[in-house]
Amino acid sequence: MPAAKQSILIVEDTPENIDILNELLGSEYQIRVALKGETALKIVNKSPVDLILLDIMMPGMDGYEVCKRLKEDNNTCSIPVIFLTALFEEQNEAKGLALGAVDYITKPFTPELVKARVKNHLELKRHQDNLESMVQERTQELAVMQEITIESLGTLAEYRDPETGGHIIRTKYFVKILSDHISKHPKFSSYLNEEVIDLLFKCAPLHDIGKVAVPDAILKKAGKLTVDEYEEMKKHTIYGYEALRAFETKLANNVFLNVARELAYTHHEKYDGSGYPQGLKGDNIPISGRLMAIADVYDALISKRVYKPPFSHKKSTQIILEGKGTHFDPVLVDAFLELEDTFRKIAFKYADFDEERESLSLI
C-alpha cells in the first residue's frame, strides 16, 4: 500500500501565486489553501499539516503574527513554516527566522528552488517525526521494563514467605488510592502530584525488599518471635535501605530509587515516635512511609499468616482506627475510613486464599 502523501498548507491571498504553487507541488503533495491568516490557524488546529508555505504581506493578520501563534501552540509548534515573500531586506528574513520559520522563498518563484526546499524540509520533518516516535516507544519500553524489574525484586522478597504472594500487589494499590485521595489535602498537595503518586505506586513493591536478608528461621517462624529474633526482623528496614542506597550511588539523583529507599526505611515508623528503625515522629516521617504504614498494616491484618488466621475487614478497620494519632497519621486514617470499602474490594480481588475472601465477605 503506497504511503499517504504529505500535506502542505499554502497561506496566500494572491490567486496567481496559489495556482503556481499548486501546479508545482500538487502532483507530489496533498495541497490545502487558506487566503487569510485567521483561516490558516483554524485549518491547522482542526487538522495539522506537514508543512506551511506562508505569505508575509496579507490583509488582516500578517504572516509574522500567524507564525508567532503557530509556534506558541503546542499542537502546531512543530509544523515547519516557510515564508513566501517579495521582501528582500535582511531584517525581514531575520525577523521571520527568529519567530521560528525554517526558510524563506522569494517571489517571483523559481520552480526548481521551490521544489527543492519544500522536499528538503518535508524529508527533515519525516525524520524528526520518526525519531520522536522511536524515542516514545523506547521510553515506554524502558518504563515497562522498570516496572517488571521492580515487581520481580519485590516478589523475590515475598518468595521467602510463600503465604504473602499477593501482598505486593495489594499494598501498591492501597498506596495508590490513598495517595490519590489525599492529594488535594493542604497537608499533602504540595508533594503529592501525579508524578509522585505514580512513583509511589511503582516503588511500593520494594518496601519489604530487606526481608531477603532475614534468616528463614525467623521469617517463617510459626510461633511468637523472641526479643532477639524480633530485633533481627526489624532490621529488614535497614537492609532494604542499604541495598537501595547502594544502587542509588551508582545512579546519582535517581528520584525513583530515592522514593523506594524512603519507603523501605520508614514504613514501620509510628506517628507517636514509637516505631523503628529511627523512632521518627509525626510529620518527620516521610509521607511515603506514612502511606505505606497503613497499607502494610491493613494488609497484614486481613491476610492469613503462619501465626494467625485472616482478620475480618471490620476488625482490621477498627484496629487501624485505634491506631489513629499513635501508629498512623490521623489525616490518613480519616482518608482510609472514607476509602475502606475500596480497600476491601482490592483485598478481595487479589486475595491469596479462599479463607481470606470469606473473611473479607463478613459484614
**pTM score, whole prediction:** 0.63
pLDDT above 90: residue 278: yes
Instruction: Kindly state the helix (H) or strand (E) to which residue 300 belongs, with its residue range.
Output: helix 287-302
Question: What is the helix (H) or strand (E) element at residue 232, kind and residue range?
Answer: helix 227-234
Q: What number is the average pLDDT over the span 113-139?
A: 83
Q: What pLDDT does residue 150 have? A: 65
C-alpha to C-alpha distances, 137 to 130, 131, 140, 194, nearest whole angstrom:
11, 10, 5, 21
CATH for 160-361, among 1.10.3210.10, 3.20.20.80, 3.40.30.10, 3.30.70.270? 1.10.3210.10
Q: Considering the domain 7-133, what is its CATH architecture?
A: 3-Layer(aba) Sandwich (3.40)
Q: How far is CA 29 from CA 23, 70, 113, 119, 124, in A?
A: 11, 21, 16, 10, 15
Domain layout of the chain by residue ranges: 7-133, 160-361
The residue to which cell 472514607 is assigned: 338
pLDDT tens-digit map of 285-299: 999 999 999 999 999
Candidates 218, 6, 208, 202; CA nearest to 118 is: 6
pLDDT tens per residue across span 160-193: 655 556 888 999 999 999 999 999 999 999 999 9
Q: What pLDDT is recorded for position 165?
A: 64
Same fold, 7-133 and 160-361: no
CA distances from 77 to 81, 243, 298 (A): 10, 45, 49
Residue predicted with more confidence, 348 or 96: 348
Tens-digit pLDDT profile for residues 52-110: 999 998 888 999 999 999 999 999 998 999 998 876 655 677 788 888 899 988 888 88
Q: Where does the pLDDT of residue 224 fall: very low under 50, low under 70, confident under 90, or very high at 90 and above?
A: confident
pLDDT for 127 equals 82
